[in-house]
Structure 1
Amino acid sequence: MASWHSSALAVIYQILGWFAFTVWSISFYPQVLLNFRRKSVVGLNFDFLLLNFTKHSSYLIYNAAVFFSPVVQRQYHDKYGADEMIPVAPNDVAFSIHAVLLTGFTILQVFLYERGGQRVSKAGALVSLGAWLAGLICLIVAFPSGRWLWLVQVFNIIQLVMTAIKYIPQAWMNFRRKSTVGWSIGNILLDLSGGIANILQMAVQSIDQHSTENFSGNVGKLGLSLESIAFDILFVFQHYFLYYEADKVEENPANTYEALENDPEQAKTSEEHPKNP
């Protein structure tokens, strides 16, 4: 096993990793609390939830296999070099477990609170199903030859693809509604902080090892961070610049969603001139 050359960089690596784990883990709670406070999930896109669950489940498979399996670790060193450190840290595994549990809990809220007529689209269901079928096919292919590193890297690619597309339905819903009501900005700000910390953590390891193999050897973690940062910036722009005035208006979530579906201008008017109770 490779070791750290600098104890100081090793400490910084752990600090950045656990900081990313902390803020990313906390980032799930603002949306859960917002749903609970409103007793509604209107404004939270269900395709996003399904794709996000698929993404985090795939990422958990990758992280757990690379971190715990001696066979996968041996194949990793055979491919990238015996001196290379395993690119998955304990905080990566802890984050993945927590992410799957909290995303699952948020999905449970969909069945408990007001949905306003929202549902998972056929496209979202087919994409998620296709991801799991791809994983199953690759498992069948990998099993006879024992290509376990290749298999878990497939799941890493799946989570990377899910990360690339999972935010699109939510961003489009915000654009169509001209509002981010129901979509927690607290989640986004924490997610952005975690993505930046994750990139810095990988950079620290690269500097210590005088190598960039940890980037190419864990393209999923790199892609996860870069894609999350890009979409987080988009959501910040939507919330604080494009739809800030509309979001300041407190509304009945279900009625507003249905109104925006049928007549966005009428919904906007009703928000600006609410009726007296």
Structure 2
Amino acid sequence: MASWNSVPLHVSSEVLGWIAFISWSISFYPQLILNFRRKSVVGLNFDFVVLNLTKHSSYLIYNCSLFFSSAIQKQYKDKYGQKQMIPVAPNDVAFSCHAVLLTALSLFQIAIYDRGNQKVSKVAFAIVIAAWLTAAVCFFVTLHNHHWLWLINIFSGIQVCMTVIKYIPQAVMNFMRKSTDGWSIGNILLDFSGGIANYLQMVMQSLDQGSWVNFYGNVGKLLLSLVSVFFDILFMCQHYLLYPTKKRKSETSPRPDNAKPLDRSSSENV
């Protein structure tokens, strides 16, 4: 493992990494708590949850493989340079494990709580099946040629694709409903903080090494941050600007024609 050249940059990277881990890890809980309090998952898009589970499972495989496997680390260094640091930190592995567990818990809530008329779309099912079939084919190919770094990059690519796709159903659902009710903004704010911290952690490592291999050597982690931040900003705009709470309340407040008969007659006499 390559060593750090600057203690301040090393410390900064570690701090940012754990800020990202804590922010991303806590970001799962507001939605879970909201579902529990409402005993309902209406407003939470099920496609998002299913795609998110595939995304985090793929990311877990990538992180654990690159962090624990000496054979894969050797292939990484052979490709990008012997002095390059492995771009997966302990907080990445810890986050992935936690994310898979909490996303599975979200699916359990979907199974037991009020769902209204919502269901997982056939498109989401098809995407998930296609992703895992691709991974299975690549795995059997790798058993023959032992290109393990190539294989885990396939999993990284899957998680990037899932990251890009998974937010779209929820964003469209919010737009169609003209509301973010049932979708926790706390999740988004924490996810946004984690994305920024994760990106800055990669910057610290690149500055220390005097190389940007850390970015294109781990494209999945880079795109994970950038895509997450983009959609987080979109959701914040939906929640605070397009469909704010006051506006939703005013739109759902009783109209004059819904008033009691006594009030209508009184107004007509006036």
> Structure 1-normalised TM-score?
0.90
Structure 1: which amino acid aligns with 2:254? H
Shift of 1:142: 1.0
Q: Secondary structure at the match of 1:18?
A: helix
Question: 1:158-177 counterparts in 2 under 5 A?
Answer: 158-177=158-177
Aligned AA (1:8) = P
Distance in 1 (CA, whole Å) between partners of 2:133 and 2:3 is 38
Q: Distance in 2 between matches of 1:182 and 1:246?
A: 16
- Residues 179 and 247 in structure 1, CA contact (< 8 A), matched pair in contact too: no
Q: Residue 22 of structure 1: SS of its match in structure 2?
A: helix
1:193-238 CA distance string (max 9 Å, x none)? 0000011000000000000000000000000000000000000000
Aligned residue-pair number: 257
Q: How big is the shift at 1:245?
A: 3.8
The residue that corresponds to 1:8 in the other structure is: 8
Distance apart, 1:130 and its partner CA: 0.5
Counterpart in the other structure of 1:272: 253
Q: How do residues 179-198 of structure 1 correspond to structure 2 at under 5 angstroms?
A: 179-198=179-198
Shift of 1:272: 2.3
Report the residue type matching 1:41 in the other structure: V
Query: Does the 8 Å CA contact 1:9/1:208 hold for their aligned counterparts?
Result: yes
Larger radius of gyration: 2
Question: How far off is 1:246 after superposition?
Answer: 6.2
State the one-letter code of the partner of 1:214: N
Structure 1's consecutive aligned runs of 4 or more residues displaced over 3 angstroms after TM superposition are 245-249
Is the Cα–Cα contact under 8 Å of residues 56 and 99 in structure 2 kept in the other structure? Answer: yes
Partner Cα separation in structure 2 for residue 185 and residue 158 of structure 1: 26
Q: Which amino acid is the alignment partner of residue 151 of structure 1? A: L
Q: Does 1:230 align with 2:211?
A: no
Q: Which residue of 2 aligns with 1:43?
A: 43
How far apart, CA to CA, are the structure 1 residues paired with 2:21 and 2:141? 33
Structure 2: how far apart are the matches of 1:117 and 1:68?
44
Which residue number in structure 1 is paired with residue 267 of structure 2?
A: none
Query: Which range moved further: 204-213 or 1-10?
Result: 1-10
- Which amino acid in the other structure matches residue 232 of structure 1? D
Cα contact 1:179–1:246 (8 A) shared by 2: no
Cα deviation, 1:131-154, whole Å, max 9, x if unaligned, reads: 000100110111111010000010
Q: Is 2:90 the partner of 1:104?
A: no
Counterpart amino acid of residue 151 in structure 2? L
Whole-Å separation in 1 of the counterparts to 2:8 and 2:247: 45
Q: Which residue of 1 aligns with 2:262?
A: none
One-letter code aligned to 2:113: Y
2-structure distance, mates of 1:247, 1:152: 46
Match of 1:94 in 2: 94
Amino acid at match of 2:32: V
Matches within 5 A, 1:1-277: 1-245=1-245, 249=249, 271-273=252-254
1:127–1:83 CA distance, 2 compared to 1 (3 A): same
Between the aligned residues of both structures, percent identity stands at: 61
Instruction: Supply the AA of the counterpart residue of 1:22.
Output: I
Distance 2:236 2:166 in 1: 17
- State the Cα deviation string for residues 32-84 of structure 1 (Å, max 9, x = none): 00000111000000000000000000000000000000000000000000000
Alignment partners' CA distance in 2, 1:72 and 1:156 = 14
Name the aligned partner's letter for residue 196 of structure 1: I
Deviation per CA, 1:161-208, whole angstroms, max 9, x where unpaired? 000010000000000000000000000000000000011000000000
Q: Which runs of 5 or more residues in structure 2 are unaligned?
A: 260-270
Structure 1 CA distance, aligned partners of 2:114 and 2:40?
A: 4
- Cα distance in structure 1, aligned partners of 2:226 and 2:176: 25
- Once the two structures are TM-superposed, the CA of residue 87 in structure 1 deviates from its matched residue by 0.1
Q: Is the 2:179–2:248 Cα contact (8 Å) retained in structure 1?
A: no
Structure-1 separation of matches of 2:206 and 2:31 = 34
